[in-house]
């Protein structure tokens, strides 16, 4: 028993402690290098890793960066010597920033987005990218858009929260064309729904107070749907 205890103690004492801090620093450097140029700023926080011992003093560290480096990411790390192998997993929280279009002031639902109502700001877009949301990166892209929902000051403009201004707005006065063979009749109608060219909406004939369906052909004209 004493001999066995001595052998176990000797084996433990010969084990070398892996330099976890050095691996973490190298990992952060490699992530920053891989993402360089893609974002305005990258923040990498490597989570603490428990101490690890390796049988050999001389070893090689191989960091296997995954294809996607966003958010909380698990990164495999291999430690190898001529005789031994050890697989570890590090975790890093990776945040990426971009200059994106934000609301410069609060915008109510269906508010037309004027140029002075938006601005470029550097924002954390990690979660938006992970959720596959599209966001605006150029102020000019906000032209012809309106708020789909309420937007608070500083909120990023995304395709989920903005929409194209319809060609026909609610209660807009339009000319409706009703065509039967060679006979063409033009009637004034009011839009009961919003829509873009090509959409079919409900309109009301203001003279006879009759609701019909009509297809939008121009911003001020619709065609009666049979």
Over the stretch 163-214, which tens digit does the pLDDT of each residue have?
A: 999 999 999 999 999 988 889 999 999 999 999 999 999 999 988 889 999 9
pLDDT score recorded for residue 14: 57
The DSSP secondary-structure symbol of 166 reads P
pLDDT, position 4: 37
- 94-120 pLDDT, tens digit each: 999 999 999 999 999 999 999 899 999
Give percent of the chain above pLDDT 90: 84
135 shares its domain with 62: no
Nearest-angstrom CA–CA distance, 7 and 2: 9
Question: In terms of domains, do 86 and 109 share one?
Answer: no
* Domain-terminating residue out of 164, 181, 209: 164
pLDDT at 1 over 50: no
Residue 146: pLDDT above 60? yes
* Shared domain check, 88 and 132: no
Q: Are residues 185 and 110 in the same domain?
A: no
Statement to judge: residues 198 and 212 lie in one domain: yes
Question: What mean pLDDT is predicted for residues 22-27?
Answer: 95
CA distance 32 to 30: 5
Residue 6 pLDDT greater than 90, yes or no: no
3-state class of 147 per DSSP? strand
Identify whether residues 57 and 126 lie together within a single domain: no
201: domain CATH number is 2.30.30.760
Task: Report the phi/psi class of residue 31: left, alpha or beta, with left for phi > 0 and alpha for psi in -120 to 50.
Answer: alpha
Asked if pLDDT for residue 11 goes beyond 90, the answer is no
CATH number at residue 111: 3.90.1210.10
Tell whether 115 and 77 lie within a shared domain.
no
**What is the C-alpha to C-alpha distance for residues 32 and 73, in angstroms, rounded to an integer?**
14
pTM: 0.77
Which of 55, 76, 93 finishes a domain? Answer: 93
The reply to whether 149 and 184 lie within a common domain is no
* Mean pLDDT lowest among 10-14, 54-58, 89-93: 10-14
Rounded alpha-carbon distances, angstroms, from residue 90 to 39, 101, 196? 23, 34, 51
Indicate if 6 and 71 belong to the same structural domain. Answer: yes
Do 197 and 123 reside in the same domain of the chain? no
State whether 211 and 187 are in the same domain.
Answer: yes
Domain residue limits at 139: 97-164
* Location of structure tokens 């939008």: 216
User: Do residues 33 and 20 make contact, with C-beta atoms less than 8 angstroms apart?
Assistant: no
For residues 121 and 182, state if they share a domain: no
Boundary (domain end) residue, out of 93, 115, 149:
93
Number of domains within the chain:
3
């Amino acid at each position: 028993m004493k001999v066995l205890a001595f052998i176990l103690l000797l084996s433990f004492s010969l084990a070398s402690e892996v330099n976890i801090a050095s691996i973490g620093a190298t990992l952060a450097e490699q992530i920053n290098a891989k993402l360089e140029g893609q974002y305005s700023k990258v923040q990498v926080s490597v989570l603490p890793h428990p101490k690890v011992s390796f049988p050999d003093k001389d070893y090689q560290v191989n960091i296997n960066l995954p294809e996607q480096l966003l958010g909380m990411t698990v990164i495999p790390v291999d430690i190898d010597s001529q005789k031994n192998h050890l697989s570890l997993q590090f975790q890093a929280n990776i945040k990426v920033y971009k200059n994106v279009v934000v609301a410069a002031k609060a915008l109510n639902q269906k508010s037309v987005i004027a140029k002075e109502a938006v601005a470029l700001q550097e924002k954390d877009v990690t979660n938006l990218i992970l959720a596959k949301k599209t966001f605006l990166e150029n102020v000019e892209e906000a032209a012809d858009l309106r708020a789909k929902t309420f937007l608070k000051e500083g909120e990023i403009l995304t395709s989920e929260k903005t929409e194209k201004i319809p060609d026909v707005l609610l209660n807009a006065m339009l000319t409706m064309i009703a065509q039967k063979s060679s006979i063409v009749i033009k009637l004034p109608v009011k839009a009961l729904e919003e829509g873009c060219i090509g959409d079919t909406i409900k309109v009301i004939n203001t003279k006879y107070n009759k609701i019909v369906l009509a297809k939008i052909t121009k911003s001020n004209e619709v065609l009666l749907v049979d």
